[in-house]
Chain A
Amino acid sequence: MKKRLVVIGNGMAAARVVEEILKRRRDAFEIVMFGAEPYGNYNRILLSNVLNQSQEAAAIMMNPLSWYEENGIKLHAGVKALHIDRENQIVLGKRLPNGVAAYLPIEKSFPEGSAVREAYDFLIIATGSRPFVPPIEGFGGQGTFLFRTIDDCQQIAQYAKDCQRAIVIGGGLLGLEAARGLITHDLDVTVVEAAPQLMPAQLDLEAAQLLKRAMETMGLRVALDTITSQITYRDDKVSGVAFKNGTQMETDMLVVSAGIRPITEVAVDCGLKVNKGIVCDDQMKTSDPKIFAVGECVEHRGVLYGLVDPIWQQAVVLAEVITECGRDAVYEGSKVGTKLKVMGVELASFGEKNPSESTDEVIVYRDPNRGIYKKLIVADNKIKGGILLGDIEMADDLMPMFMNGTKVPENRAEILFGAVSGETLLDVNDLPDSAQICNCNGVCKRQIVDVIKNEQRTSVSAIGEVTKAGKGCGSCRGLIAQIIEATIGKVSYDPREHYYVAGIPLEKSLLVREIKNREMKSVSTVFAQLADGIEDAGSKNGLASLLKIMWPKEYEDERDARFINDRVHANIQKDGSFSVVPRIFGGVTSPDELLRIAQAAVKYHVKMVKITGGQRIDLLGVKKADLPAIWKDIGMPSGHAYTKAFRTCKSCVGTDFCRYGVGDAISMAQKIEMRFQGLECPHKVKMAASGCPRNCAESYVKDVGIVAIEGDQWEIYIGGAAGSIVRKGDLLTTVNTHDDVLCIVGRFLQYYREHGKYLERTYGFVERVGMDILKAILIKDTLGICSQLDERIQEAVNAFKDPWKEAETPAYAHQFDGPQLVEVVGEVNNNG
C-alpha cells in the first residue's frame, strides 16, 4: 500500500518539495496538503508586480489548482493545520474563516464537525514565515497593512485608490518593493527605516547611500534612523504616525514590512524541537524522525533562510531522503546571494558586506554619476562577499565563484570588469561536483559529467536530451560545453543540430544546393530523393517553407506537408476550433468592415472577439467547417496570424493626428503590409512603424521596426523582440523615403528567408550573423548580391495569393470537412 504523506503549508517550499518527490517516484505516496491560503501555490517573489498591477494574481500562479488534481494530490485549500497528534500520526486542521489573514495565529479549537483530519506515515512542515510587526502602539486598525500574500496585495491596492499619502515602515527589500507598488498607484510614499541605511541586510553604507539617491530621484521619500512608536487614527482610519524622536507625520495608509519571523506554532504545540525556527538536521528531519521541515520555517545549523535558492536545495535533499532515492543526501547549508531589481535599480549582493579580518582585501569601483558601485571582499584569493549596484553583469560569473569558493584572477580589475581576453572568469575545473550548472532544471556538474562518461554523450544538445540541462533559458550552455571539454578534451557538435530539418541529413546551404540542382519542387520528392522515401513528419513543415521560399511560383503545394493551420489558413485552438484574424492593413479599419466582422461573429457563434496585440481583431472558436463561409462573409483577406510568415505591421497615428509626429507612420505601415502580406519566413515576423522616437507602436522591439526621425528620415531596426525574449532591435540604416524603407526591409527579409534556420526568429538570426556583417551585405553590398535579393523578393511578392480565396475554390476535396458520421453495415465474428 502507498504510504501517506501529509504536507502542512502550500507555499513555494511545499510545492517544490512535492514536485521534487514526484519527479523521483511518482507513485510512492498518497499526498495530502494543507494550505492556509485559498489558492494553489504562487510565486511570492512576484507579489510586488501584483501590487503595482503589472501582473494579475492569476499570472503568478506556479501550481494552479488543476495541477494538484492532475497529480492526484488532495489539497485542502483555505484550511489551516492546527494540531499534530504524533502518537496516532494524525494532523488536525480547520477551515479559515473569511477575512482572516493566512499567517495570523488562530485559536486551536474544533467546534463540532469542523476538524479536517488526515493520517500520515510521513509529515512535512513547510509553513514559511509571517511578517514581523515591531512594537508600535495602535497597529491593526483600518488603513494599516502587512505585505506577504496575494490577499494582502489586493487589499492594499484597493485601499490605495482613495489615498494620497502612504508610509512604509521598513527600508529592507520588501519595504522598498511595497513602496514601489504604492508609487504606481500615484501615492506620495515615505519609507521609514530604523537603521541608518536602506537594505541593511544586503548593502554596505556607501551602496545604500547611492541607492537612496536613486530612489529619491524616482520620487520616494526616505527617513532613516527613525523609529515609529505610535499610530494615530481619525474617524477610525489611520491618519498619521508618531516617531520616537518626538516628530510626527500624516498619512492616509500604512504598510509595515519590517522583517519576517518563522511560523512554528504547530511544531511547538506538538513538542518538536524549536529555537528561532523548527530545528532540522542535515537530512531536513525534525526531532521526530517521521516529521520533516523545509523552507523559511526551518532552522538548520543555527541559520534561517529567507530566499528561495537555499530552499530549492533543501527541497532536493528532502526529496532524495524521503523517496529513498538518495538515502545519504545531506544539506550542508547554503551560501546566500541574490540578484534583485529594486525600483528599476539592479543590484547583486552575496556573502559578507564588509571586511572582517585585517588581511581581507577590499576592491572597490565607484562611478556615482552613473549610479554604479562595485565592491568585492577577497581573502586567500577567494571571494568572501560582494555588492554590485547599477551594473551587475559580472554577477553571473562572480556569484558561482563565491558559492563554490573558486580562485579569482591575479589581476583584480578583471574581477570587477571581466577578463581582458573577453573569456569568462569562471573555470569549470574549479567547480565542485555539486555545483549547480543549470539553474532552470536543477542539474549539477556531477550529473553532467556522469552522462558524458557513462553514456558517451559529447555534445551540449545530447546532454540536454538526457539531463534537461541547458533546455531552460539556455544561459548555461556555454558552461556545459566547457564541462565537456574539461572531461573529454573536445566538444563534439551533434551534426543533427545543424541539419535544417531532422529528417534530411544536410545543413541548410547544402540542402538548398541539392534542391536547386535536382530541381525538387515538392516535399515528397525531397524525401524520395534525399531520405530514401522516409517521410519524417516533424521535417515536413520546414521543407515546405523552404521550397516555397526557393520556388515562389513553381512550388508544388502538397498540403499534407503542412501543419493543420496552413492547410486551412486558421489557427487551431486547444478545443480543436479555429481562430480567424482578417488582415487590417496598418491597424486601420472602417465602420463597414467592423459591421461585417460583428455580423459574422454573431452568425457563426464566435466564442470571443478579441483585439490582438498586433492591432487586429481575432474571432475565436470557429468550427473548421465554417471557415470558408465566415471568410466570405467578412470579405477581407487573411491576416496570416496562424503561420510562420510576415504577420502584421502596427502603426501609430503619426503625422495624421499626433502632435509629435514627424513622419507619416500609418501609410508607411499600410504600404509595408500591402507589400509583404503572407510572405513565408523561417519564423513569424512582426513589424511596426512609429511616427517619432517616442515609439508608440513599439518599433524598437519588433523583428523589423521603422521609426520616423527629424529631417524627414526613417530609421530601420531589425532583430527586436518582446516575447519570451525581450531585445531591442539594432539600427540597420536610416533612409529618406517610404520606398527606400520598402526596399531595405524587403532585402533584409529575403536574406533572412534564404539564410535563417527554420524556426529561428530574427533576433537569433541577427545575433548569429552579426550586425556588422548584415550592414556590410545589405547596405554596403560587399557581396554584390543586393540586386539579386531585391529581384527575388519582388518575385515572392508577385506570387502572393490570398489563401482565404480557397473559400471559393478549395485546394483539395474535403479540405474544410468536419467529422463525418458513418453508419454500421454489418457485424462479424473475429477469431483473430
Chain B
Amino acid sequence: MQRNMLFNLGSVNDIPLGQGRCFIVKGEEIAVFRSRNGDISAIENKCPHREGPLAEGMMGNGLVVCPLHGHKFDLGTGQGSEHNECIQIYNVLLQHGEMILEFPCEIFNQKKENNASECLTL
C-alpha cells in the first residue's frame, strides 16, 4: 500500500493549451502539461541530462522536448529518448476543473526526511 499526499494545482485553464507550467510541491519542481486535446500530465521538472527545465519544453504527441539539448521524454511513462534516462511521473486527477496532484509520501520521505511530519490526513 502506498500513501499519497494531494495537492491542488488550481484550474486547468491556468495552463495555456499545449504548454507546460512548473509547480513547486514540497520543494520538488513538477512540470505539468496540458495537451491540445485536454490531457493533463505531470513529470519531474528536472531533465536528467543537465537539469534543463522541462516545463519550458515543447510538447506534442505525448512527448516533451527538453529546451536545452532536445532530449525527449514520454509524458505517460517518463521514458527518455536516451535509453538510460527516465524521469519520475505523477498522477493528476481532474475534479471540477481543478487539477489534483498525487504525490507519493515515499518520495517525499526519501527526499525530505526531516519534514515528514507535515503529512496531513484527510
A562 and B58 alpha carbons, distance in the complex (Å):
7
Instruction: Out of B7, B36, B119, B120, name the residue touching A822 (CB < 8 Å).
Output: B7
Interface check B63, CB cutoff 8 A: yes
Task: Please name all residues of chain A whose beta carbon is closer than 8 Å to the beta carbon of B76 when the two chains form the complex.
Answer: none
Task: Please name all residues of chain B whose beta carbon is closer than 8 Å to the beta carbon of A503 when the two chains form the complex.
Answer: 60
A831 and B104 alpha carbons, distance in the complex (Å):
12
Interface check B57, CB cutoff 8 A: yes
- The verdict on A535 contacting B3 (CB below 8 Å), with A540-B60, A827-B121 known, is no
Instruction: Out of B9, B23, B45, B64, name the residue touching A537 (CB < 8 Å).
Output: B64
- The verdict on A830 contacting B61 (CB below 8 Å), with A535-B36, A560-B36, A572-B67 known, is no
Task: Please name all residues of chain A whose beta carbon is closer than 8 Å to the beta carbon of B2 when the two chains form the complex.
Answer: 829-831
CB–CB B59/A822 < 8 A? no
Task: Please name all residues of chain B whose beta carbon is closer than 8 Å to the beta carbon of A269 when the two chains form the complex.
Answer: none
Task: Please name all residues of chain B whose beta carbon is closer than 8 Å to the beta carbon of A536 when the two chains form the complex.
Answer: 60-61
CB–CB B60/A537 < 8 A? yes
A576 and B102 alpha carbons, distance in the complex (Å):
26
Interface check A821, CB cutoff 8 A: yes
Interface check B105, CB cutoff 8 A: yes
B97 shortest CB reach to chain A, Å: 15
Interface check A563, CB cutoff 8 A: yes
CB–CB B102/A564 < 8 A? no
- The verdict on A825 contacting B23 (CB below 8 Å), with A535-B36, A537-B58, A572-B56 known, is no
A828 and B50 alpha carbons, distance in the complex (Å):
34
Residues of A whose CB lies within 8 Å of any CB of B are: 503, 524, 533-541, 558-564, 567, 572, 574, 576, 812-815, 817-831
Instruction: Out of B6, B50, B65, name the residue touching A825 (CB < 8 Å).
Output: B6
Q: Give the interface centre of A537, A817, A829 by most chain B CB atoms within 10 Å.
A: A537
Task: Please name all residues of chain B whose beta carbon is closer than 8 Å to the beta carbon of A814 when the two chains form the complex.
Answer: 14-16, 21
Interface check B94, CB cutoff 8 A: no
Instruction: Out of B4, B29, B64, name the residue touching A819 (CB < 8 Å).
Output: B29
Task: Please name all residues of chain A whose beta carbon is closer than 8 Å to the beta carbon of B21 when the two chains form the complex.
Answer: 814, 817, 820
B117 shortest CB reach to chain A, Å: 12
Instruction: Out of A819, A824, A825, A827, name the residue touching B3 (CB < 8 Å).
Output: A827
Pull 15 A–B residue pairs with CB atoms less than 8 Å apart, ordered by A: A524-B18, A536-B60, A537-B58, A539-B60, A540-B58, A561-B18, A813-B14, A820-B22, A824-B6, A824-B7, A826-B120, A827-B121, A830-B3, A830-B102, A831-B1
The size bracket of the interface on B is: 35 or more
Instruction: Out of A540, A541, A560, A825, name the residue touching B16 (CB < 8 Å).
Output: A560
Task: Please name all residues of chain B whose beta carbon is closer than 8 Å to the beta carbon of A831 when the two chains form the complex.
Answer: 1-2
A100 and B9 alpha carbons, distance in the complex (Å):
62
A438 and B59 alpha carbons, distance in the complex (Å):
34
Task: Please name all residues of chain A whose beta carbon is closer than 8 Å to the beta carbon of B36 when the two chains form the complex.
Answer: 524, 535, 560
A415 and B80 alpha carbons, distance in the complex (Å):
51
Instruction: Out of A558, A559, A819, name the residue touching B24 (CB < 8 Å).
Output: A819
Query: What string of 1s and 0s marks CB contacts (under 8 Å) between B97-122 and chain A?
Result: 00011110100000000000011111
- The verdict on A534 contacting B1 (CB below 8 Å), with A574-B50, A827-B120, A828-B122 known, is no
* Beyond A819-B29, A820-B22, A823-B8, 6 extra complex contacts between A and B, CB < 8 Å: A524-B36, A536-B61, A560-B59, A576-B52, A819-B24, A830-B102
CB–CB B23/A820 < 8 A? yes
Task: Please name all residues of chain B whose beta carbon is closer than 8 Å to the beta carbon of A827 when the two chains form the complex.
Answer: 3-6, 105, 119-122
Task: Please name all residues of chain B whose beta carbon is closer than 8 Å to the beta carbon of A829 when the two chains form the complex.
Answer: 1-4
A831 and B58 alpha carbons, distance in the complex (Å):
34
A564 and B64 alpha carbons, distance in the complex (Å):
12
Query: What string of 1s and 0s marks CB contacts (under 8 Å) between B58-90 and chain A?
Result: 111101110110001000000000000000000
Residues of B whose CB lies within 8 Å of any CB of A are: 1-10, 14-19, 21-26, 29, 35-37, 45, 50-53, 55-61, 63-65, 67-68, 72, 100-103, 105, 118-122
Q: Which residue of A lies closest to B68 (CB)?
A: A574
Instruction: Out of A541, A821, A826, name the residue touching B6 (CB < 8 Å).
Output: A826
5 A-B pairs with the lowest CB-CB distances in the bound complex, closest first: A560-B18, A537-B60, A826-B122, A535-B60, A819-B22
A520 and B77 alpha carbons, distance in the complex (Å):
33
A541 and B58 alpha carbons, distance in the complex (Å):
9
CB–CB A560/B61 < 8 A? no
Q: Which residue of A lies closest to B64 (CB)?
A: A537
A540 and B19 alpha carbons, distance in the complex (Å):
12
A559 and B121 alpha carbons, distance in the complex (Å):
40
CB–CB A825/B18 < 8 A? no
CB–CB A564/B57 < 8 A? yes
A801 and B50 alpha carbons, distance in the complex (Å):
35
B122 shortest CB reach to chain A, Å: 4
CB–CB A563/B6 < 8 A? no
CB–CB A828/B18 < 8 A? no
CB–CB B118/A824 < 8 A? yes
Task: Please name all residues of chain B whose beta carbon is closer than 8 Å to the beta carbon of A812 when the two chains form the complex.
Answer: 16
Q: Which residue of B lies closest to A578 (CB)?
A: B56
Q: Give the interface centre of B2, B26, B61 by most chain A CB atoms within 10 Å.
A: B61
A563 and B2 alpha carbons, distance in the complex (Å):
38
B10 shortest CB reach to chain A, Å: 8
A558 and B72 alpha carbons, distance in the complex (Å):
21
Q: Give the interface centre of A541, A558, A830 by most chain B CB atoms within 10 Å.
A: A830
Instruction: Out of A558, A815, A824, A830, name the residue touching B18 (CB < 8 Å).
Output: A558
Q: Which residue of A lies closest to B91 (CB)?
A: A830
A674 and B98 alpha carbons, distance in the complex (Å):
47
A297 and B45 alpha carbons, distance in the complex (Å):
49
Q: Which residue of A lies closest to B31 (CB)?
A: A819
CB–CB A822/B68 < 8 A? no
Q: Which residue of B lies closest to A560 (CB)?
A: B18
Q: Give the interface centre of A538, A558, A823, A827 by most chain B CB atoms within 10 Å.
A: A827
- The verdict on A825 contacting B29 (CB below 8 Å), with A560-B58, A564-B67, A812-B16 known, is no
Task: Please name all residues of chain B whose beta carbon is closer than 8 Å to the beta carbon of A559 when the two chains form the complex.
Answer: 16, 19
CB–CB A821/B24 < 8 A? yes
A576 and B9 alpha carbons, distance in the complex (Å):
22
A560 and B37 alpha carbons, distance in the complex (Å):
13
Task: Please name all residues of chain B whose beta carbon is closer than 8 Å to the beta carbon of A824 when the two chains form the complex.
Answer: 5-7, 26, 103, 118-120
Task: Please name all residues of chain A whose beta carbon is closer than 8 Å to the beta carbon of B14 when the two chains form the complex.
Answer: 813-814
A524 and B35 alpha carbons, distance in the complex (Å):
11
A814 and B121 alpha carbons, distance in the complex (Å):
32
Task: Please name all residues of chain A whose beta carbon is closer than 8 Å to the beta carbon of B25 when the two chains form the complex.
Answer: 822
A473 and B24 alpha carbons, distance in the complex (Å):
43
Q: Which residue of A lies closest to B52 (CB)?
A: A576
Task: Please name all residues of chain A whose beta carbon is closer than 8 Å to the beta carbon of B35 when the two chains form the complex.
Answer: 535
B85 shortest CB reach to chain A, Å: 14
A209 and B24 alpha carbons, distance in the complex (Å):
72
Q: Which residue of A lies closest to B67 (CB)?
A: A564
Task: Please name all residues of chain A whose beta carbon is closer than 8 Å to the beta carbon of B57 when the two chains form the complex.
Answer: 537, 564
A367 shortest CB reach to chain B, Å: 49
- The verdict on A576 contacting B53 (CB below 8 Å), with A560-B17, A819-B29, A831-B1 known, is yes
A271 shortest CB reach to chain B, Å: 43
Task: Please name all residues of chain B whose beta carbon is closer than 8 Å to the beta carbon of A820 when the two chains form the complex.
Answer: 21-24
CB–CB A538/B65 < 8 A? yes
Task: Please name all residues of chain B whose beta carbon is closer than 8 Å to the beta carbon of A576 when the two chains form the complex.
Answer: 51-53, 56
B94 shortest CB reach to chain A, Å: 14
Q: Give the interface centre of A540, A820, A822, A823 by most chain B CB atoms within 10 Å.
A: A822
Q: Which residue of B lies closest to A577 (CB)?
A: B53
A828 and B120 alpha carbons, distance in the complex (Å):
9
Instruction: Out of A524, A533, A564, A828, name the residue touching B56 (CB < 8 Å).
Output: A564
Task: Please name all residues of chain A whose beta carbon is closer than 8 Å to the beta carbon of B55 when the two chains form the complex.
Answer: 819
CB–CB B7/A818 < 8 A? no
A537 and B57 alpha carbons, distance in the complex (Å):
9
CB–CB B61/A826 < 8 A? no
Q: Give the interface centre of B3, B60, B72, B100 by most chain A CB atoms within 10 Å.
A: B60
A313 shortest CB reach to chain B, Å: 29
Q: Give the interface centre of B19, B24, B72 by most chain A CB atoms within 10 Å.
A: B19
A561 and B57 alpha carbons, distance in the complex (Å):
10
A828 and B6 alpha carbons, distance in the complex (Å):
7
A818 and B21 alpha carbons, distance in the complex (Å):
8
Task: Please name all residues of chain A whose beta carbon is closer than 8 Å to the beta carbon of B51 when the two chains form the complex.
Answer: 576
A533 and B62 alpha carbons, distance in the complex (Å):
12
